[in-house]
Structures are given as C-alpha cells and as structure tokens.
Amino acid sequence: MQRNALARLADVAQGTLPFLSRVAHAATRARDELRQRLLGDDFEERVHSLRHRYVTLGGDPFGFDPETARQAAKIVAVFHRLYFRTEVFGIEHVPPGRALLIANHSGQIPIDAAIIGSAMFFDGRPPRVTRAMVEKWTATLPFVSAFFSRVGQVVGLQENAVRLLEMGELVLAFPEGMKAISKPFAQRYQLEPFGHGFMRLALRTQTPIVPVAVVGAEEQYLSFGNIEWAARALGLPAFPLVPQVLLPGGAMPLPTKYRLHFGEPMRFYGDADDDDSVIADKVWLVQQTINDLLRRGLRDRRGVFL
C-alpha cells in the first residue's frame, strides 16, 4: 500500500517537475531580460570602473561609496528606464575631465538630479559619478545626509566644488536654487534668475560648462502654488500645494517622459573676482543657452507622457 502511494507520488512528480523547472527557467529568463533592459549588459563593468577610479584616488574625502551607489543605481534605473523612459540627447558633449553641468531645476522634489546622475552613469561613455551640489539644509536631515554623501552628493559650497573639480570630477549645479524647484505649474519652464557662484567657480578653476535642459520634470507634480507661511512654520524650504498627493498613489510623481538635452561645452575666460555686472553677462549667456535648449526640447517633444 505504502509502496503504491510512493509510486503514485513519483508519477505526479514526473509530470509536474519538468513543468516547474520550465516555469523557473522562464522566470529566470524574464528576470535576466528585465535586468538587462534596466541595467544594460555592462553594469558590473561600469561599477567596476568607478570603483577603480576612487581606489586609485585613495578614497573619496566626501564619502562616495561605490557599493551604496551600485545599489542606488539599480533603484534609479527603474525610474530612468521604465518609469520616466528618459531620452538623452547630446551626452557626448560632456568632456572627459573636470566639467560643470548647469541645469534648470524643477519638479517639486529633486528627481531631475537623480535622473541626470543616472544618465551620466548608464549612458555616459565612460560612466561618470555626478557630484550634485545640494542644499546645506539636507546635511541636518537624518538618513538623507548619510545617503547623499554615500552616493556622491556634496554640500553646495564653493570650496567643496573647487576641490571636486581639482579632483577631475563632474559637478552638477542648479544655479536657480531652491525657489525654482517649487514653482507652480503655471510657471513651468520659465527660468528663475541664475546665481553667479557657478560662473565664478568656472572662471576660477578653468572648467568647461555643459548646459543641460531637463524637459518633463515640470509636469510630474502639478503644483498650484507654494504656501510660504507653512514652509516657514515647518522649517522646510518650500511647502508646495500639490492636490494629486491626496489621491491614492498620488505621492508618486506622474510618469511623464523625461528628456535631457546636453548642450555643447561653453568655456569662459576672465577674472573670477570681477564685478557682478561682468559676471552677469557671462551667466546670461549660459541661461540663454539653457533656455534655447528648453524651447527646442519643448517644441520637438511628441507629448508630455509619450
């Protein structure tokens, strides 16, 4: 009787096991395909080349950690490839050595910085770590401060930027500052006045400036305005009124299509400590270039979500 039961069990197993293994196989294949689509064939090579760079530099004094960055890149890749389906134009303009990426800032939360960083890592040849200049305020936030420094973000001070550029790094700055990120929807793609710090930095360190236009971030959250007294009361840099977060799942940004337009590098010469009016002219040139890239990007895009 018992033998019989075992035999029957064996029969069942014979029938189902190949099926199960086929399912497992298909699942593995699907996972590999997804992984390949998200991360590309050469993900590990890209990580390795970065690891190698910082080992030869003798570690990074700002706390960049390739292992944390590797995990973060996997998560950002989902947004970069699947969610926002980023299209990247002109990334070959980014010079191989030190460079300063100057971009428009938008989208209520700084996803634009993450996507630019992700593009430089996944689409750049060779892969680069983007060192974004972040608000000093973030250094006081638990988890955020630790995470930012592990993935290569740096508190936005001129001294830090000079040090990074002297190390040959790629520095990303948003000269519009915090006020641009919390713009209401009605003011989308209108540049706020640029600060002058980045131009003095570029002049001081003889660094080429690469203008970057980010198209698609403005529509991810529809903001009706910024409630300043609420921001002040809560000690936040901004308190945007975004009704969509009240809907289920509305905390996620809308899946707009991101388009990054990298312009040709701009080189400036002159005295870094010159008068504001002299610097302002040079800053204006960069601002106009980004504005042109934005207008062209907006004109040529098929749709907000397509």
Partner 1 sequence: MTTNALVTDSDSGPVVVTGICGRLGRDLSRVLHRKRKVIGVDRRAFVDPPGDVEHHQLDIRSSRAREIFRHGVAAVVHLGVMHDPHESSVEHHDFNVVGLQKVLEYVDLYKIPKLVLLSSANVYGPRPDNPQLIREDAPLLGAGPFSDIRDLVELDMLVNAFFWRNPGTDTVILRPAHILGTVRNAPSNYLRLDVVPTLLGFDPMMQVVHQRDVLQAIELALMPGARGIFNIGGPEPLALSKAISVLGRRAMAVPHSLAKAAVKNLFRFRLTGFPAPELDFIRYVCMVDDSKARGELGYAPLHGLEATLRAVDEERWLS
Q: Does 145 bind partner 1 (CB under 8 A)?
A: yes
Q: Which H helix or E strand runs over 17? A: helix 2-39
Per CB under 8 A, 58 contacts partner 1: yes
Binding window for partner 1 (CB under 8 A); candidates: 44-52, 101-109, 141-149, 169-177: 141-149
Q: Does residue 154 interact with partner 1 by CB under 8 A?
A: yes
CA nearest to 215, candidates 295, 131, 160, 139: 295
Which residue's CB is nearer to partner 1, number 159 or number 276?
Answer: 159
State phi, psi for 249 to the nearest 5 degrees: 75, 5
Closest CA to 286 of 100, 81, 110: 100
Binding to partner 1 by CB under 8 A, coded x per residue (else -) over 110-139, reads --------------------------xx-x
Q: How far apart are CA 122 and CA 39, in angstroms?
A: 7
Q: Is 232 in the site for partner 1 (CB under 8 A)?
A: no
Q: Is 168 left (phi over 0), alpha (psi -120 to 50) or beta?
A: left
The rounded distance, in Å, linking the Cα atoms of 62 and 197 is 21
DSSP for residue 189? T
Cα–Cα distance list, 116 to 138, 181, 225, 268 (Å): 19, 15, 26, 23
Residue 201 binds partner 1, judged by CB under 8 A = no
Contacting range for partner 1; rule: CB under 8 A; set: 78-86, 155-163, 233-241, 298-306: 155-163
Tokens of 139: 């250094």
Segment interacting with partner 1 (CB under 8 A) among 125-133, 154-162, 175-183, 259-267: 154-162
> Using the rule CB under 8 A, is 280 a contact of partner 1?
no
Q: Is 56 near partner 1 (CB under 8 A)? A: no
Distance (Å) of CA 291 to CA 216, 263, 298: 14, 11, 10
For 89, what's the count of Cα atoms within 13 Å in the CB-facing half-sphere?
A: 17
Shortest CB 62 distance to partner 1, Å: 5
Site size toward partner 1, by CB under 8 A? 24
Residue 279 near residue 196 (C-beta atoms within 8 A): yes
Residue 146 binding partner 1, by CB under 8 A: yes
Q: Which is nearer to partner 1, 62 or 189 (CB)?
A: 62
Q: In this complex, which beta carbon is closest to partner 1, that of residue 156 or of residue 240?
A: 156
> Which one among 35, 48, 49, 65 touches partner 1, defined by CB under 8 A?
65
Sole binder of partner 1 in the list 140, 190, 206, 288 (CB under 8 A): 140
The residue within the footprint of partner 1, chosen from 48, 87, 90, 144 (CB under 8 A), is 144
Identify any residues that bridge with 134 across adjacent strands, giving them in sequence order.
Answer: 155
Smaller CB separation from partner 1, 75 or 146: 146
Under rule CB under 8 A, residue 205 binds partner 1: no
Cα Rg of the chain (Å, integer)? 24
Helix (H, G, I), strand (E, B) or coil at 143: coil
What residues line the site for partner 1 (CB under 8 A)?
A: 58-59, 61-63, 65, 136-137, 139-146, 149-150, 154-155, 157, 159-160, 163
